Structure 1
Amino acid sequence: MNIAVCIKQTADTESRPTLAPDGSSVGEEGLVWIINPHDESAIEVAVRLRDEQGGTVTLLALGPDRVESALRQGLAIGADYAVHLQCDTMPHDPKIVAGALENLISTRDFDLVLTGEVAIDSAGAQVPQRLGILLNWPCVTGVEELKVTSDGLTARHPVEQGDEIHRCNLPAVVGINRRIGEPRYPSFRGIMKAKRKPIEKEVAALQIAQLQIASLALPASKSDGKILDYNDGVAEQVIALLREEAKVI
């Protein structure tokens, strides 16, 4: 079974972002870059399936040169191959991302495409569905349990009052939720092998973006909290603060 895993390099949520001078993008200085956690779990699922059933795991990543470090990390986890779809900046329009991935996937012989269900930076959760539509393949997202056989796949994902079980034929696109399981830590041997593995590079075929970011703003800084002494008038003080400072009543 030949499996593709689409990964995205995202900034660690512990990083402190700044705005770029244009006011419509995030400055990259000082950011720590990681594999999107849901995508990292998708790599783990793919490696397990490969180990059980044979085949290969190929990582696909779209973005600038820094994306190579994410691909190396995925190779260290256990992927066999990696393809870097090169572009100057990471597109924020999910339609553009899905289109670039589809252009590559449609030229390869993959039985299954895994992605994370959502990226922690944009939280759009659109790429798996858009990719399935473009490929004309079945798509299931939010998957927390996955079983794959030669006859197809069975996937479970939670809904408000229980679980849904989906069955479909291959090839298919599956969006993985990180709750499916924690990815393994790369071994020292895996890290060393990943450093030597070649990364295939292709120039990404990007459509004209229809979604534009007009401006970004950092959250307003919060003032220090206030500690009130307990006394007969504390309730009135709280009401006054909520009305005059917090302006919530």
Structure 2
Amino acid sequence: MKIGILLKQVPDTETKIQLTADKTSVDTSAVKWIVNPYDENAIEAAIQLKEKKGGEVIVFSMGPARCVDAMRTALAMGADRAVRVDTADGEWDSYTTAVALAEALKAEGVELVFAGKQAIDDDASQMVQLVAERMGAASLGIIETFELSEDGKSATVTRPVSGGTKEIIQVTLPAVFGCDKGLNTPRYASLPGIMKAKAKPVVEKKGAELLGGETIKIKKMGYSLPPERQPGRKLTGSPQELVDGLVKFLKEDVKII
């Protein structure tokens, strides 16, 4: 069985985001990049399944050459090889990204795919469903448990519904699963794993060649940063002066009374 992982490299949450001068994109020159945290659970799910049932784990990611660093992390954790879909050519949104990834997955004959439930940079939560649709596969957006059948043709999963209720679903493969934090605890890459990852193959595919004429559905017109927070105000004086000052502030500045 070939098990696929969808991996995205995202900015570290501690990174201070800056925009380009024309405010049409994010300035990535000083960004520290990490593996999308939810994708770490997808990596772990794929590796655990391989350890139980056998098979081959293939990592798929879209982006420039720097994405290979994130892919090497997955390879060090135990994935077997990787496919990077290059984004140098073509226009990209969630739709065209899903088209290219789905074509790459189909070309490798992957029928079981794990992905993070969402990416922490844009929180779009679209990739699981879009990729599954393009593959003609089932999709389950958030799973908390996973069990593959003995014949490898279906899987049983649980996912949250609401109010603490859990839904148990049996799905026939092919399928794409979105992984949440509660699914597992991602392992750390061992030193031998890190060394072996350097020799594992990473194949590059041209993203534009996988689109088959498909075009973007959404065009981002620009970006804006949130306004800077105003400094706090400290009141001093007697208790009565503090009360009077607070009332004045709420009435004249904040205008809530």
The bucket for the TM-score relative to the shorter chain is over 0.9
Alignment of 1:84-99 (within 5 A): 84-88=84-88, 93-99=93-99
Q: In the alignment, residue 66 of structure 2 is paired with which amino acid? A: R
Match of 1:169 in 2: 172
Alignment of 1:1-249 (within 5 A): 1-88=1-88, 93-149=93-149, 150-161=152-163, 162-204=165-207, 205-206=210-211, 207-229=214-236, 231-246=239-254
**CA–CA separation in structure 2 for the residues paired with 1:187 and 1:223:** 46
Q: Between Structure 1 and Structure 2, how many residues are aligned?
A: 249
Q: Secondary structure at the match of 1:42?
A: helix
Contact 2:91 2:215 (8 Å CA) reproduced:
no
Contact 1:111 1:170 (8 Å CA) reproduced:
yes
- Alignment CA distance shift 1:146-1:243 (3 Å): farther
**CA–CA separation in structure 2 for the residues paired with 1:214 and 1:248:** 35
Q: Secondary structure at the match of 1:10?
A: strand
TM-score normalised by structure 2 residue count: 0.90
**CA–CA separation in structure 2 for the residues paired with 1:231 and 1:120:** 46
Q: What are the superposed Cα offsets for residues 94-132 of structure 1, whole Å, 9 maximum, x if unpaired?
A: 111111111111222223011111000010001101111
Contact 2:8 2:61 (8 Å CA) reproduced:
yes
Per-residue deviation at 1:33? Answer: 0.4
Q: In the alignment, residue 64 of structure 2 is paired with which amino acid? A: P
Per-residue deviation at 1:233? Answer: 4.9
- Alignment CA distance shift 1:233-1:22 (3 Å): same
Q: In the alignment, residue 239 of structure 2 is paired with which amino acid? A: N
Query: Mean alpha-carbon deviation: is it higher for 15-24 or for 119-128?
Result: 15-24
Q: In the alignment, residue 216 of structure 1 is paired with which amino acid? A: Y
TM-score normalised by structure 1 residue count: 0.93
Give unpaired runs (5+ residues) of structure 2: none
Contact 1:63 1:90 (8 Å CA) reproduced:
no
Over the aligned positions, Cα root-mean-square deviation in angstroms equals 1.9
Q: Secondary structure at the match of 1:196?
A: coil
